[in-house]
Amino acid sequence: MAGKLVTVFGGSGFIGRHVVRQFAAAGWRVRIAERDTRKALFLKTAGDLGQISFIPASIMNDADVAAAVAGADAVINLVGVLYQRGRRSFQALHVDGAARVAKAATTAGVTHLVHLSALGASATSASAYARSKAAGEAAVQDAFPMAVILRPSVVFGPEDGFFNMFGALAVVSPILPFFTDIVPHADGGGGPRFQPVYVGDVAAAVLGAVTELGHCAEVYELGGPRVYDMRGIMNIVNRETMRRRWVCGIPFFIAEIKAFFLQFMPKPLLTPDQIKLLKQGNVLSGQAPGLEAFGLVPTAVEGIVGNYLKRFRPLQQNKRLRFAGRG
């Protein structure tokens, strides 16, 4: 099949699957590089026959990465973790892995490299995650100076781990808690602030960074059209799930105690480092170009989340809505 070739590391993930579909729809051949390619096979139908291919590759292995980028016109690195386990540390994936991909792309003569970082990446952050993201950016820029770096805020969409997590919580819990600097009080502060960005907009920006002129050697911050505090996020969850849960602020010191114990779970819901990251907030700095640089109008949370949070509504509410829709 003719057409340019893009290699996507992390293509089976939440953001990755949308990136794969964007490139496939634009006529690119897509090579998905995954440690376990079986996890990405569901994307075979994202393109025409032969348009989507798979290659087993660990971002921590030089030979694997070199094979994955060979012959590619563009490389996208979406690999990232929110907590560390064994060899899959922030250093190994966000820094060393990112550097490995960038160096291999340079050696292979790749034209475009897009590296997904995170809003709040900073060498001086209290969070090890944010520091590793900043170190990864520096490593990429050193090895591939023309790379495009994207820093999204919290990403939302049908498969997200953010709104869906709170939606599931609303089903089983009488309260929707959030962390704040104040003492527990339902009418207190609203907690950390976020600027959620739609996964479709992030994927479109990745495509634009490769296909549009003028995006080389640039850092972009990606956020939605509106800033919310955690109380506002919980209010959206309440409204879209049609639940009436008590939205309650919990002081950070209690969160830190919980996180200390939760971090030992196989897939921790919360870690001490994530608490440090939460305290920073996640809002655009205004010092870098954003979605508008790609000709994109940010998608509002309210126009999307109801479509997938409705599965958390009480059964009778969904039945009523379906019945009303027939009228």
Give pLDDT tens digits for 251-298: 888 889 988 998 998 888 889 999 999 988 899 999 999 999 999 999
* Phi, psi dihedral angles at 56 (to 5 degrees): -70, 125
If DSSP codes are grouped into helix, strand and coil, which group holds residue 26? coil
Nearest Cα to Cα of residue 22 among 198, 201, 290, 219: 201
Give me the mean pLDDT over the 301-311 stretch.
96
Give me the mean pLDDT over the 177-197 stretch.
75
Per-domain residue ranges of the chain = 5-156+195-222, 163-193+226-282+300-316
Q: What is the CATH number of domain 5-156+195-222?
A: 3.40.50.720
Between the CA of residue 83 and those of 89, 91, 273, what are the distances in Å? Answer: 8, 11, 8
* 213's tokens: 């002129």
For position 269, what pLDDT does the model report? 84
| First-last CA distance in the chain | 49
* 75's tokens: 């490389």
Please say if the pLDDT value at position 324 is more than 80. Answer: no
DSSP 100-142: HHHHHHHHTT-SEEEEE--TT--TT-S-HHHHHHHHHHHHHHH
Give pLDDT tens digits for 146-182: 999 999 999 999 999 999 999 999 999 999 999 887 5
Asked whether the beta carbons of 22 and 203 are under 8 A apart, the reply is yes
Strands 112-116 and 74-77: parallel
Confidence of residue 319 (pLDDT cuts 50, 70, 90): low
How many Å is the maximal CA-CA distance in the chain? 63
Report the percent of the chain where pLDDT is more than 90: 82
For position 267, what pLDDT does the model report? 85
Give me the mean pLDDT over the 199-218 stretch.
96
Average pLDDT, rounded, for the chain: 93
Nearest Cα to Cα of residue 222 among 271, 124, 149, 168: 149
* 233's tokens: 């996020």
For position 322, what pLDDT does the model report? 57
Give pLDDT tens digits for 63-99: 999 999 999 999 999 999 999 998 999 999 999 999 9
DSSP 139-199: HHHHH-TT-EEEEE-SEESTT-SSHHHHHHHHHH-SEEEEEESSPSBTTS---SEE--EEH
Dist. CA 176–CA 174, nearest whole Å:
7
If DSSP codes are grouped into helix, strand and coil, which group holds residue 93? helix
Q: What residues contact 267, with CB distance under 8 A and at least 6 apart?
A: none
Asked whether the beta carbons of 170 and 237 are under 8 A apart, the reply is yes
**Residue 180: burial class (beta carbons within 10 Å; 0-12, 13-18, 19+):** buried
**Residue 182: burial class (beta carbons within 10 Å; 0-12, 13-18, 19+):** middle
The pTM for the full model equals 0.92
> Which residue in the block uniquely carries the two structure tokens 């990465």?
65
Give pLDDT tens digits for 210-247: 999 889 999 999 999 999 999 999 999 999 999 999 99
Dist. CA 163–CA 165, nearest whole Å:
5
Neighbours of 324 (CB within 10 A): 8
